[in-house]
Structures are given as C-alpha cells and as structure tokens.
C-alpha cells in the first residue's frame, strides 16, 4: 500500500526551474519574435503627411497608394475634410526611406484615367484605382508635413531637366492651353493650363521645354499656334494649312528662331504666342516693340466691312490694327442721331519710325504734330475680294485745321477725312458675273460655224460659177455685138443715114467740119474710156492681194485654214479661164465695135459720111455711154471684193461678219442679175445701145 | 506475477490504478512495468508514471495557439484579385460579408469552423488544464468526454486552410482572377496546429488523478 511517492513533491519544490519544461522556449521565442516584428514594423513606420485636395476623387483609406516614379511609397491612412468642408485632407503614411525627401518642394496630385484628344493617360488606374502621385527632388530639404495637392499633374517634375517658360497670348489673341509644344513636328514640350491675367487682357500659361531642347529657345524665338487649320485665298491661290492631324485635333504650339545668334534663355522667360507663322515671322523684325498706342477714330459713315484686326496703314505701311469697332450715337456731340463708327486702333509706336525714345507718349506727340500738318484718318478699301476695309492715315493737303482730341479717361481721337471706299466689291462682282455670263462656248462655236459657212460659201458652185457667169455675160455682150441684129445696125444706120441724108444735106454745109471733128473727139474719148475700164482689172488684183494680206493676219490656225481655203478658191476664181478671158472678151467686144465702125466707114458712102457724121456722133455717144457702164461694172466687182475683204478682215467683229458676207454675196448676185438684165434688154432692143435709151 | 496482480486488483477494490499498484504503463506500447523501471524493455520508450510537465506543455502550446490566433483574425485570410478590384477578407469580415450577401448558411459554417471551434478549443483546454489543478464541479467523465471531443474536433479546424489552399491553387487565372492565401491563413494554420499539440499534450489521466487527490484530501480532512 504505497502512497504516492513524496518524491514528487520534493522534486517540485526542489527546483521550479528544473521542472520547467523546455517547451516554454517555443512560446517565448514566438513572443520575442512577435515583439521584434512589432517593434520593427513600428519603428519602420514612416511619418504621416497630410495632403489637401480639392476633391477626394477615388481616394480610399488604406487602399490608395502614394507613388513616386510609379513605385508605391506610402498609403493613405485616413481621409477627412478640411476646415469648413472646403477641401479633403488625406493623411498618408509614407515610407521612412523616402520621408526625408518629401520636403517643401514636393508636389502631389491624383492620377486618374484621362482620355483626351492627345492621348490616354493613367490607364492603369482603371484597374488599380486612383493613386496619388508625388514628385520631389533627390535632395533632402526643409521638412514639411502638410501639402497642397494639385488637381492635375504638374508640367514637369522636380529633378527633371527642362526649360520653364511662360507663354502669353498676344492682346486680342488666343492661347491654346494643355497642348503639346512641337518643334519640327516632334513634341519637345508642353503647355500647362492657362490662366487669365488680372487685367483680363491676355492669357498666360506655364510651359516647359524638355531637356535638351531648351537651348533651341532664344530671345528671338517666336511661338505660334498650329491648332486647327487655316484656309486662305490670296494672290497665290487657295491655301489650306495644318501641321498635323494630331495638332488639328488637339492643338499645338510650335516655335522657331528666325534670327540666329541668340543666347538660350533662362527659366521664367515670357513669350508671346502668335496666331500664325506669318505673324510670328513678321514680329521678329519688330523686336523693339513697345506697348501699343491706342487711339480712337470716329468715322461719320457707318460702313460695314471694317473688322477687328483690320490693318491700320500709314503710307502703305502697316502700323497697327483695329482693336474694336462699335457703333456710336451721340446727338449731343454731333448734333444728329446718325450712327457713327467708333474704331479703337492700336498703333505700334515702333513702326512709326520714330527716332530716339520709342514710346506711346512719343508716338502720340508725333501724331499730334502730324495732325496739325494735315494727317487724317480715313476708311479705305483693303481687299477687293472680301470687301474688307482698312484704316488709312494720310496727309491731306489743305485740310481744315484739326487737333488730336485728348481727353482724360478716353483714347485720343484722330480727326478723319473723306473715306476712299469704293464699292469695288460690287463692281468686281459685277465684272465677274458678267464674265461668267459670257457665252464663250457659244461664241466660239458660232465663230467656227461661220468660218465653215464662209468656206462652204466660197467653195460653193454658185460662187465658183460667178466668173463663168461674168464670162458668159461678156460672151453674151460680144455675141450680141456680133449678132446679126447688131451687125445689121450699120445697114439700119445706113438706111437711117440715107434717110437722114436729105435732112443732113440741108445742114451739111454749115456745120460739117466742126461736127466731124467733135465726133472724132467723142470716139477718141470712148476709146479712152474703154482703156480706163480695162485698167481697172489690175486694181481688182490689188484688192485681192489686200484680201490675202488681211487673211494672213488672222491668228487662229483654224481660221487660217479656212481663209487659205477661201484664198485658194479666190485663186481658182481668178485663174479660171473665164476670168482670164474677161479682158480678152472686152478686147473682142472693142474689136467688134472697131470692126463695126470700120464697116461703118466702108459700108457708108463717102458722100454719106458727111451727112451721117452727126448721127455717128450720137451713136458714138451711145457707145461711149454703154462703154461707161463697163467701168461701173468693174467698180461693182471691186466693191464686192472690197466687201469680201472687209468681211474677212472683220471676222472677229461678231455677227456683223456673216451679215456682211451675205450682203456681199447678195450684192454679187444682184450685180450679176443687173448685168444679165442689161444684156437681155440689149438683146431685146439692140438699138438702145445706139440710142442710149 | 499474475497472482500478485490479481491480488492487487482485488485489494484495490474499484479504484485501483496502475500507479497505486506501483506500475507504469508504457505510453507507446502500453506494456506495464514496475514503476522503478525507467525504460520500457519492449519498445525502449522512457517510462513515466505521470508526465509532470504535461500541463506546462499544454499551457505553452495553448499560449502559442492563442498568440497565433490573434493575427489569424486581424490579417486577411484570402486575397482575391480580379481585373478591376482587389479584395482582402479577414475571417470574420468575410463571414459578415457573406451574411450581407445573403449566404447565411455558408457564413455560419465559416463562423462555426473558424471562430467557434478554435475559441471553444481554447476555452476547453484551458478549462481542462485548470480543472486538474483546482477542484471542479464538472464530473470527471464529462471532462474526459470534453477532452476527447476537443482532441477529435481539433483537426477539423484545418478545413479553413484546406479551402484556402484549394482556392488559391485552383483560381490562378493570371490577370483575370487570382486568389492567394493571406497572411492569416498561415497564422490560422499555426494556431490550429498549436492547439492540437496543446490538446494532445494534455495527459488525460490527470483528470482522474485529481479525483484521487480529492479523495485523499477528503480523507485527510
């Protein structure tokens, strides 16, 4: 019956530590480890910084990270509202490692996905959620633990190289903010958000040119806007300008240094952004530009067409532009309630060519002197196409004396003179519309048609047959002269003479010798007349030559061809045997006449001669009369050819031509008919030739 | 030997223990030896009538388990990362979320397996460990039952770890969905392991020893 051994108790009491199980080491170790870890974690905890944002867009406690160069360096621990609920304050636990670098130069902004015309940024935040991006330089500066968060990413990050400049819109111009800065099409910088100057007269934006391109910017560098596109119609034609599709959508600013040799500028320089490259270029040569001198001009007439930005010219040189145009009704000042045109112009003193002090005040004084000498402003037509007006300053001789009106609180007012505005636009428009309305195609077609008709006419059988008809006519005349009836004329004459014999005998003695002499004179005269009529033929040839000369001056080949055709036809006409025969026929006719006269001489008894001399003189008179008709005939033909020549010479005088040609042809035809009628009349009544009736 | 043993059994009436007979059972091969024998002659295991350091081990591992159970509940158990969001759930947080989504049954299972059982085990082991040193109103057989239940049920707490392990090994669809075990899973597993060791370290014979101590003390009085 052994009890529980007392050894147990002795053992237990003997040594507490001896009885202590080794197992306790494990929890002790765990405890120590936990404590070490806890202490380490605690001691490794960075400080808390507070960042004040305008809005807590997507920032969540213990989730939103603070990143630096896309590496997480902290976590938002808490979000609360700022004083007066005006802002959101995020408390961020930053890593101890980077905490010292977060000094007063640090900047923070939230990164959210952004879709803009120039691209997509922050896409990773779609998956990870918004994060806060911080940026600071690599040097430890004055410690700071509360910051103002930015609403957008800053243009450049501390520690990054880049030329920081400011871009300013020109007065009255525009500035595209948040756009890339392009140089030769490559983005080398960026324009930040713009703000309006306190006076409201221009916009200004921070911009950065990334390294190493900052050296491209010198004091003579000019920036201009390449946003959108420009379309212009000028003397050189229509121009459509845009730099790239990207800048078309997103806008852009580019620059160039037109004058070499400038030193690179430092941070903080301010540049103006011009509307176009041309403006930028022209501004280079006005490097010494100073503030604008603003003046007012009140024009009596209220003419549309003067736009803001219209040039102000002084002796053809642009010295400024129109800043504003308003209507003005001031019955008190002008005594009537007409609407006047009040124009505020900005003049660039530097362009007036002043010596020495170039300032608005000096320019005002200069203009005041000039106004006393007769300088006046007037409206003038600027652009005949658009009807735009410009303001022109010019010296007006014997102008009524006037002074610059300088009042406090108002722009100095320039006196005006009669405007030189012609309604040129309307005139030009009218000219253009009339030119436009001209039936040029129809005209050309008519001309071609006419020449073809003329060619057809000349080459037509009727015209070709005209010489033959003339020849036949003369042949008819000859046959008529040589016909029996005419041949009988001597007999008839003889009989008549015999019948007259008795009468003649009565007066024979008194006047015989004188009458014979005058009869011979008349015959000679008749023969001379026939000679002159034959002499008319060379004249005809000359006329044809002049026709050819006229034809030679016709410029168009088509016409020339046609005219050549005409000429060849005319040549054929002239060289036609019938034409050649014309003088021969006339000669033949005269021979016949001669023979008749010879027969008269032979047939008539010598004794009768004296008695019939008086009658012969009458007959010779009649022959002379009929022979006088021949020069007329030749004249007629000459006229025809004159007209034909005039027709061809005046082919370009429009429709008159064809009418003239037709009239000429009608004349030729009428002439032929007249000759035919004459021949028929002579055939019917040959004695008319003798009797002259 | 046989006779002696039988005699001793008879003498010891109903509550004869090996210890009271001066015997020590080998805990490995269960062969009984006289208590003077230090090592089991059959299997070579060290013989010990009562493990005096058992309670120390119980408490040590119990403490370790409890220590691990704290981060197991504070840290996220699962990290679910999908294309558009990342979620980290602690055990209780996840269960609450499930209740909010309406899956009360699933949430209850999780709460039961991951919260109720471990905490119950801590309480049960602590109770048992205390009850062997202090008088207890709970009967010995009930305590023995409690011990058996604790010992048996301990391994089922690992079901959480299995779920996490299976999910994180199956759902690895790269960027689309990824489930990773959170820090808590490790601590939870450690906690379960340590409580199991703790429960295992408990020498259930002490439950019954305490009764004798009670009796003896009662006799002394």
Q: Assign domain B50-211 to its CATH architecture.
A: Up-down Bundle (1.20)
Residues of chain B with C-beta less than 8 angstroms from the C-beta of A8: 52
CB contact B45 to A (< 8 Å): no
Mean pLDDT, chain A, as a whole number? 72
pLDDT band at residue A566 under the 50/70/90 scheme: low
Inter-CA distances, A107 with A86, A135, A155, A361, B90, Å: 20, 5, 11, 46, 35
Q: Is the pLDDT of residue A370 over 80?
A: yes
Residue A303 pLDDT exceeds 60 = yes
Q: pTM higher than 0.95 for the full model?
A: no
- Pick the residue of B7, B9, B50, B56 with the most A CBs within 10 A to test the interface with A by mutation: B56
Q: What percent of chain A is predicted at pLDDT more than 70?
A: 58
Q: What is the pLDDT of residues A609-651, one digit of tens each?
A: 455 455 555 655 655 565 556 666 666 666 766 665 665 555 5
Task: Determine which of A98-112, A544-558, A577-591, B78-92 has the lowest per-residue pLDDT on average.
Answer: A544-558
Q: Which residues of chain A lie closer than 8 angstroms to B60, CB-CB?
A: 21, 23-24, 26-27
In the numeric block, which tokens belong to residue A410? Answer: 């108002």
Could you tell me the two tokens for A562? 């046609």
Distance from CA of A49 to the nearest CA of B (A): 25
User: Which of A211, A221, A282 shows the shortest CA–CA distance to A254?
Assistant: A221
B19 touches A at CB < 8 Å: yes
pLDDT tens for A675-685 read: 777 777 766 76
Phi-psi domain of B108 (left: phi exceeds 0; alpha: psi -120 through 50; beta: other): alpha
CA atoms of A236 and B176, how far apart (whole Å): 61
- Supply the pLDDT for residue A556: 47
pLDDT digits (tens, 9 = 90+) for A378-435: 888 776 666 677 888 888 877 777 777 777 777 888 888 877 766 555 666 677 777 7
CB contact (8 A) between residue B60 and residue A23: yes
- Please, what is the Cα angle at B45 between B40 and B46, to 5 degrees? 85
pLDDT (tens digit per residue) in A470-482: 777 777 777 766 6
Contacts of B20 in chain A (CB under 8 A): 2
- Please give the average pLDDT of every successive group of 10 residues along chain B, which has 221 residues: 51 62 79 81 78 79 88 86 78 87 87 86 88 76 86 80 86 80 88 87 75 52 42
Q: Evaluate if residue A107 carries a pLDDT over 80.
A: yes
pLDDT, average across residues A270-285: 78
More confident residue, A541 or A332: A332
All residues at 6 or more sequence positions from A380 whose CB lies less than 8 Å from its CB, including other chains: A313, A389, A390, A391, A392, A419, A420, A421
CA distances from A115 to A69, A123, A181, A192, A244 (A): 21, 9, 19, 16, 20
Closest CB from A2, A11, A20 relative to B56:
A20
| A21–B contact, CB cutoff 8 A | yes
Name which of A570, A548, A564, A543 is nearest A451 in CA terms. Answer: A564
Residue at token pair 């690992």: B158
| Residues forming CATH 1.20.140 domain(s) in chain B | 50-211
Interface-testing mutation among A1, A16, A20, A27, with chain B (most B C-beta atoms within 10 A): A27
Range picked from A4-8, A183-187, A626-630 for highest mean pLDDT = A183-187
Interface test with B, best of A6, A20, A21, A28 (most B CBs within 10 A): A21
In A605-655, alpha helices (H): 606-649
Give the closest-approach CA distance of A27 to chain B in angstroms. 5
**Distance, in angstroms, between B50 CA and closest chain A CA?**
10
pLDDT at residue A29 tops 80? yes
Decide if A52 contacts A146 (C-beta within 8 A): yes
Asked if the C-beta of A2 comes within 8 angstroms of chain B's C-beta atoms, the answer is: yes
Contact A8 B52 (CB under 8 A): yes
Residues A120-130, mean pLDDT to the nearest whole number: 74
pLDDT, residue A36, reads: 92
Looking at residue A610, what is its pLDDT? 52
d(CA B192, CA B65): 7
**In chain A, which residues have their Cβ closer than 8 Å to the Cβ of B13?**
none
ipTM rounded to 2 decimals = 0.70
pLDDT digits (tens, 9 = 90+) for A202-233: 788 888 888 888 888 888 788 888 776 667 77
Contact check, Cβ <8 Å, A126/B67: no
Task: Please indicate whether, in this complex, the C-beta atoms of B57 and A23 are within 8 angstroms of each other.
Answer: yes
């Amino acid at each position: 019956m052994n009890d529980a051994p007392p050894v147990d108790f002795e053992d237990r009491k003997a040594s507490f530590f001896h009885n202590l199980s080794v197992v306790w080491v494990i929890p002790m170790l765990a405890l120590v480890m936990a404590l070490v870890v806890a202490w380490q974690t605690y001691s490794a905890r960075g400080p808390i910084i507070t960042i004040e944002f305008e809005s807590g867009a997507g920032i969540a406690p213990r989730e939103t990270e603070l990143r630096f160069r896309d590496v997480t360096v902290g976590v938002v621990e808490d979000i609360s509202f700022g004083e007066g609920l005006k802002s959101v304050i995020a408390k961020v636990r930053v890593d101890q490692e980077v905490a010292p670098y977060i000094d007063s130069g640090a900047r923070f902004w939230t990164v959210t996905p952004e879709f803009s015309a120039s691209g997509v940024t922050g896409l990773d935040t779609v998956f990870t959620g918004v994060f806060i991006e911080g940026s600071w330089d690599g040097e430890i500066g004055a410690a700071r633990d509360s910051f103002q968060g930015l609403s957008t990413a800053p243009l450049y990050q501390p520690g990054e190289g880049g030329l920081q400049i400011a871009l300013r819109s020109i007065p009255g111009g525009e500035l595209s903010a948040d756009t890339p800065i392009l140089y030769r099409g490559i983005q080398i910088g960026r324009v930040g958000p713009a703000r309006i100057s306190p006076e409201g007269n221009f916009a200004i934006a921070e911009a950065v040119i990334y390294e190493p391109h900052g050296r491209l910017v010198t004091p003579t560098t000019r920036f201009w806007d390449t946003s959108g596109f420009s379309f212009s119609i000028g003397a050189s034609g229509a121009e459509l300008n845009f730099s790239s599709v990207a800048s078309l959508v997103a806008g852009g600013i580019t620059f160039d240094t037109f004058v070499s040799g400038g030193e690179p500028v430092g941070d903080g320089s301010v540049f103006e952004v011009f509307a176009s490259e041309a403006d930028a270029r022209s501004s280079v040569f006005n490097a010494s530009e100073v503030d604008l001198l603003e003046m007012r001009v009140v024009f009596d007439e209220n003419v549309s067409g003067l736009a803001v930005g219209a040039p102000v010219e002084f002796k053809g040189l642009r010295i400024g532009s129109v800043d504003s145009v308003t209507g003005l009704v001031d019955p008190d000042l002008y005594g009537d309630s007409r609407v006047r045109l009040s124009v505020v112009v900005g003049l660039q003193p530097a362009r007036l060519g002043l010596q020495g002090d170039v300032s608005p005040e000096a320019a005002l004084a200069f203009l005041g002197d000039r106004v006393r000498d007769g300088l006046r402003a007037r409206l003038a037509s600027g652009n005949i196409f658009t009807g735009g007006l410009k303001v022109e300053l010019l010296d007006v001789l014997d102008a009524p004396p006037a002074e610059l009106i300088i009042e406090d609180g108002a722009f100095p007012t320039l006196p005006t003179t009669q405007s030189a505005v012609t309604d040129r636009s309307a005139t030009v428009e009218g000219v253009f519309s009339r030119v436009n309305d001209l039936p040029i195609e129809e005209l050309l077609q008519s001309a071609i048609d006419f020449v073809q008709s003329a060619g057809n006419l000349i080459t037509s059988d009727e015209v070709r047959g005209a010489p033959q008809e003339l020849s036949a006519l003369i042949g008819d005349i000859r046959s008529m002269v040589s016909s029996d009836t005419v041949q009988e004329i001597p007999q008839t004459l003889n009989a008549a003479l015999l019948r007259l014999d008795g009468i003649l005998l009565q007066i024979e003695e008194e006047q015989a010798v004188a009458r014979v002499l005058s009869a011979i004179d008349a015959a000679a005269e008749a023969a001379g007349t026939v000679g002159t009529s034959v002499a008319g033929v060379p004249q005809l040839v000359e006329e044809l030559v002049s026709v050819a000369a006229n034809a030679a001056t016709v410029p168009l080949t088509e016409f020339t061809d046609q005219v050549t055709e005409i000429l060849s036809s005319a040549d054929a006409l002239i060289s036609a045997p019938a034409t050649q025969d014309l003088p021969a026929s006339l000669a033949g006719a005269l021979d016949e006449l001669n023979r008749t006269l010879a027969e008269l001489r032979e047939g008539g008894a010598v004794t009768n001669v004296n008695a019939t001399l008086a009658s012969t003189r009458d007959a010779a008179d009649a022959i002379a009369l009929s022979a006088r008709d021949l020069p007329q005939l030749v004249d007629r033909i000459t006229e025809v050819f004159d007209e034909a020549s005039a027709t061809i010479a005046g082919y370009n005088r429009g429709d008159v031509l064809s009418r003239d040609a037709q009239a000429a042809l009608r004349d030729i035809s009428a002439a032929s008919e007249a000759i035919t009628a004459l021949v028929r009349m002579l055939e019917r009544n040959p004695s008319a030739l003798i009797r002259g009736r | 030997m046989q006779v002696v043993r039988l005699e001793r059994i008879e003498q010891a009436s109903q509550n004869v223990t090996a210890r009271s007979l001066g015997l020590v059972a080998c805990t490995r091969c269960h062969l009984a030896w006289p208590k003077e024998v230090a090592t089991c002659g059959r299997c070579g295991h060290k013989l010990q009538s009562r493990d005096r350091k058992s309670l120390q081990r119980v408490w040590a591992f119990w403490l370790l388990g409890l220590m691990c159970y704290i981060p197991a509940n504070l840290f996220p158990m699962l990290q679910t990362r999908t294309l558009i969001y990342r979620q980290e759930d602690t055990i209780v947080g996840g269960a609450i979320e499930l209740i909010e989504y309406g899956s009360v049954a699933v949430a209850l299972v999780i709460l039961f397996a991951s919260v109720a059982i471990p905490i119950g085990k801590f309480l049960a082991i602590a109770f048992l460990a205390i009850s062997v040193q202090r008088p207890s109103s709970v009967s010995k057989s009930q305590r023995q039952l409690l011990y058996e239940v604790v010992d048996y049920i301990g391994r089922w707490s690992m079901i959480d770890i299995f779920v996490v392990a299976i999910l994180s090994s199956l759902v690895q669809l790269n960027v689309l969905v990824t489930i990773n075990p959170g820090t808590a899973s490790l601590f939870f597993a450690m906690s379960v392991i340590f409580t199991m060791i703790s429960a295992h370290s408990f020498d259930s014979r002490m439950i019954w020893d305490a009764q004798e101590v009670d009796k003896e003390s009662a006799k002394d009085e």
